[in-house]
């Protein structure tokens, strides 16, 4: 299976003290998806699990958007076989 996010980022809103907010980077926010139950091809939307990393308790998550992704089956293709045909010699 191949899973492709429809966009690279999701919008996350957090709450915290203004003077500490300038130190927050994208590395402090982690979003994960459990896509193990998606077995069929299609486009799906799921609520991610969003956590704050290495931030003190003054910060909290206010809201975040769902993630949209596409599931497709990857089909392995065999390379064409060399046909050693006597007509070509």
What secondary structure does DSSP assign to 7-71, as a single string?
Answer: SS---EEEE--HHHHTT--GGGEEEE---TT--SSEEEEEPPEEEE-S--TT-EEEEEPPEEEEE
Domain of residue 53, CATH code: 2.170.120.30
Using alpha carbons, select from 40, 30, 41 the residue that is nearest to residue 64.
30
Within-domain flag for 83: no
Give the total number of structural domains in the chain.
1
Whether residue 23 lies inside any domain: the answer is yes
Q: Which domain holds residue 17?
A: 2-76
Q: Is the pLDDT of residue 89 over 70?
A: no
Q: What is the pLDDT of residues 27-84, one digit of tens each?
A: 999 999 888 888 888 899 899 999 999 989 999 999 999 999 998 887 666 677 766 6
Whether residue 14 is contained in a domain is answered as yes
């Amino acid at each position: 299976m191949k899973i492709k996010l429809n966009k690279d980022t999701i919008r996350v809103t957090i709450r915290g003290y203004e003077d500490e907010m300038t130190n927050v980077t994208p590395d402090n926010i982690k979003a994960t998806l459990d896509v193990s139950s998606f077995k069929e091809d299609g486009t799906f939307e799921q609520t991610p699990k969003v956590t704050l990393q290495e931030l003190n308790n003054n910060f909290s998550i206010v809201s975040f958007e769902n993630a949209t992704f596409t599931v497709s089956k990857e089909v392995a293709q065999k390379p064409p076989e060399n046909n050693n045909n006597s007509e070509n010699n």
